[in-house]
Each structure stands twice: as C-alpha cells, then as structure tokens.
Copies of this chain bind each other. A is one copy, B any other.
C-alpha cells in the first residue's frame, strides 16, 4: 500500500523516508469504529496510538456528576494517543464513523525513542494542539454564546477540507458539511443544545449563514462570520 498517501502528507509522518514508513507499516493496522462508540475509555492503559484516516474523534472529560466537556476534536491526519504516559487522561469517542490507523503503543514508543525526527514531528504537533487548546480556553472563558457558535463554524470551515470528498466541498471555503451532532457542538462550546440551536437560527436571520439541511452550512461572507465570532 502507499503508506504516505495512507497517512496523509499533513500527518506527523508526512515527511518521512521509505525506511521509517516501512517500520511504521509493519506495526500498523486499520480499525473502524461506528459513530458513538468509545475508542479509548478514560483512565485506560491505552495500548494503542495512531492517526485518524476518516471521521471525527472527540476527546472528552467528565465530572463525577456527569457534566461533560469536549476538550479536543481530531480530524483526518491528526495524531491520536498520549506518548510516555501510562494512563489515558480522557475518553476518546467516535463523533462520526471513524477509521483509524493504529500502532501498538509499546512498539511505537520504541520507534519514537530510536527516531529523533519522529519525536520532533510529534513535538511540533503537540505544540500546535496546545495552541489550539489555549485558543479554546479564550473562547470558553470570554465569548458569548453567539460568538462561540460562530467561532466553531469558522474552525470547522478551516479544517473541513480535511474531511475528504465524502464531506466538505473541496476548495469551496464558504460551504461545508458539519457531520457532528448539535449536542457534541454544545459540549465542545461549553453550552447547551438549545443555546446552540438558538444561536444558529440567530446567525441565519442575520443572513450570516444559510443551511440547506441540518448539517450543511453555507457562509456567503466569511468576514461577517469572523466579526460575529469576535475575530480573535
């Protein structure tokens, strides 16, 4: 198989030579998860790591009383896993049907130690995730419900091109498929389903967005959406 195509050029494996890719391929396997299923439960020893091939993975944390927060969304080409830690600090669930390219954790850690360049790429990816997490803290701490929803739409429209041909109109920036549910959106935005719904209709009546159906969004003017999102 064409390993490079498989992982995608944007993945942390995108820049490697054939030797490393071969080493990876030998410990790789494909797994599928239906929407709603749990990929890695919270607190797991987490024997696998991998990259997302298709679909969207949500990383969630919950409080003892059941309140839940989505702390990360993984799109195709994103790395999933927590190197150098025995306990997986949150739950990873399939927000849509998901295909993963997985590696055995122990094997991957070994490869990681032996391949500084791989570790470098992982560091770069982790720094990017940290930046994203901090952007999200700004959103959770400061923004109004309308700004939250608008920000989320901007976020997805930017990463939507990574959803493959099935979702997301390629090249078309202002039109995209949002394959996740309203309740997942709410959990990501630190709000409720009802509020998300209300803010979407609000943005509709302001003509900032249009919907052809529940999950297909059209943004005529990205700048107006950005303004509604508080720019950042």
Measured CB to CB, the residues of A under 8 A from B are 59, 61, 63-65, 67-69, 71-72, 82-85, 89-90, 116, 119-120, 122-124, 126-127, 129-131, 133-138, 140-143, 187, 189-190, 230-232
Q: Could you tell me the distance in whole angstroms from the C-beta of A220 to the nearest C-beta in chain B?
A: 23
Listed by A's residue number, 7 A-B pairs whose Cβ atoms lie within 8 Å are A69-B141, A84-B123, A89-B131, A129-B130, A133-B134, A136-B137, A137-B190
Alpha-carbon gap, A176 to B133, bound state (A): 29
In the complex, residue of chain B having the shortest beta-carbon distance to the beta carbon of A191:
B141
A127 touches B67 (CB 8 A): no
B124 touches A84 (CB 8 A): yes
In the complex, residue of chain B having the shortest beta-carbon distance to the beta carbon of A188:
B141
Additional A-B contacts beyond A84-B127, A116-B119, A141-B189 (10; CB < 8 A): A59-B134, A61-B137, A63-B143, A82-B127, A83-B123, A84-B124, A89-B131, A129-B130, A133-B133, A140-B141
Give the residues in chain B near A131, CB-CB below 8 Å: 89
